[in-house]
Amino acid sequence: DAIAISQSKGPSAGGGADGSMLLFPTVEPNFSANNGIDDSVNNLIPFMQTHDTISAGDLIQFAGAVALSNCPGAPQLEFLAGRPNQTIAAIDGLIPEPQDSVDTILDRFADAGNFSPFEVISLLASHSVARADKVDTSIDAAPFDTTPFTFDTQIFLEVLLKGVGFPGSPNNTGEVESPLPLGSGSDTGEMRLQSDFALARDSRTA
């Protein structure tokens, strides 16, 4: 939702953090880069329907701020209301994918909102509290670090370790070998995105 905005393509490409993924739930969740976002969309739509004075964009930002407050270590985010409801869906192709090169990712964030390489890595603190369901469909909820419920710097440390294997099946698009692929009990091992690996080793973002 939020990254679906483009200075070069203009306003018709998408309005960024405008709630369009909730307002056009049969369009944006179907973009391949959004695979898995339907969980959040389907959970938020009932709130949107029962609170019709709250815009979809405000609802998503508020939900994000509340969600983050559940993770120990996370900052308390300021929430500002006032986004109008979007009238168009965003176009496909604006969401970065894990198989994208560092050049492509940095260009995309710069085009979206003049984000610097430093700011892109700061935003990737989000992968401290993230798990993947769709990169490898043979496993559920593969975390990107060993502390997926704690907002900490562990992802930035673990992404530098040597990759030794995959938590599930090999040869998935956008995934590279992880340093800690072994699971325990019902927990899968850690997954490493190709993009996180590449960003951690590029001179502009390492």
List, as residue ranges, the binding site for Ca(2+).
Answer: 1, 16, 18, 20, 128, 145, 147, 152
Non-local CB neighbours of 173 within 8 Å, separated by 6+ positions: 98, 99, 135
- The span of 14-22, 52-60, 82-90, 91-99 binding ligand HEM (CB under 6 A) equals 91-99
SS3 string, 113-129, reads HCCCHHHHHHHHHHHHH
Q: Smaller CB distance to ligand HEM: residue 89 or 135?
A: 135
Q: Percentage helix, strand, coil, to 5, in the chain? A: 35, 5, 55
Contact residue for ligand HEM among 135, 139, 198, 200 (CB under 6 A):
135
Report yes or no: 199 and 120 within 8 Å, Cβ to Cβ: yes
Alpha-carbon torsion angle 103, 107, 108, 112, nearest 10: 160
Which amino acid is present at 46? Answer: P
Q: Smaller CB distance to ligand HEM: residue 12 or 36?
A: 36
- The span of 22-30, 51-59, 133-141, 178-186 binding ligand HEM (CB under 6 A) equals 133-141
Contact residue for ligand HEM among 21, 89, 105, 198 (CB under 6 A):
105
Cross-strand pairs, 143: 131
User: Is residue 190 at the binding interface for ligand HEM, with CB under 6 A as the rule?
Assistant: no
Q: Smaller CB distance to ligand HEM: residue 89 or 132?
A: 132
What does the binding site for ligand HEM look like in residue numbers (CB under 6 A)? 36, 96-98, 105, 123-124, 126-127, 130-135, 174, 193, 195
